[in-house]
A = this chain, B = another copy of it.
């Protein structure tokens, strides 16, 4: 089955890796903006977005993977004068803002997230919203309050790296929940348990593969695991592809 990996950092992968992923069925992926050190300058992120929207897309295409760029300021790489970066978001073609969100939930992070959400709301742009490993539940609650405060449309946000503990509150708030299959995040078995409990309607799947060592085939493996568990094909398809196409308006 074809698989849509809704959150990768293609910049951390070689073109040979992208080709192997495509061969494993991962024919589409959203490649999210992230800068692996704290940038000193807002301009660095603007050029990064330009690179994602052109060079990275072409690199994917050359090996059979359709990459879609997501651009935005990750909470771990907020540059000085971040407002300049937010202004640039309107000018660069993308399928989503991402990954954005909270890491420590500092005042600055909250401000940067809100500014990006307000712009996304005005532009009707989907958002991929990171949640951290530390204080996952508390920061997810805070994130959902911010989404509510901004009046952000339910159909336009995925709250990502969800767990058994946070899936329910995300779904209750009406948003999509992103299931990240990766060492230190979810296993295929945990994905199975979560969708068995909460259904398939509002979940999307991703690997978050990028700069670190990770299983780049995690989404395809999870889909095969669900098939082996006897899950309905139509349900697996929703998780593997269809929900993502709807969320990102493709």
Contacts and interface: CB of A to CB of B under 8 A. Distances in A.
A36 interface: yes
Interface in A32-54: 35-37, 39-44, 46-48, 50-51, 54
A107 interface: no
A48 B212 CA distance: 18
A138 to B, nearest CB: 29
A55 B41 CA distance: 17
A interface: dominant SS:
helix
A15 B14 CA distance: 9
Number of copies: 2
A198 interface: no
A47 B46 contact: no
Nearest to A40: B47
A59 interface: yes
Contact of A12 (B15, B42, B63): B15
A15 B213 contact: yes
Interface size class, chain A: 20 to 34
A37 B14 contact: no
B41 A41 contact: yes
Contacts of A44: 41, 43-44, 46-48
A54 B41 contact: no
14 contacts: A11-B11, A12-B14, A14-B17, A15-B211, A15-B212, A17-B17, A35-B51, A37-B50, A37-B51, A39-B47, A40-B43, A41-B44, A43-B44, A44-B47
Interface of A: 11-17, 35-37, 39-44, 46-48, 50-51, 54-55, 59, 62-63, 211-213
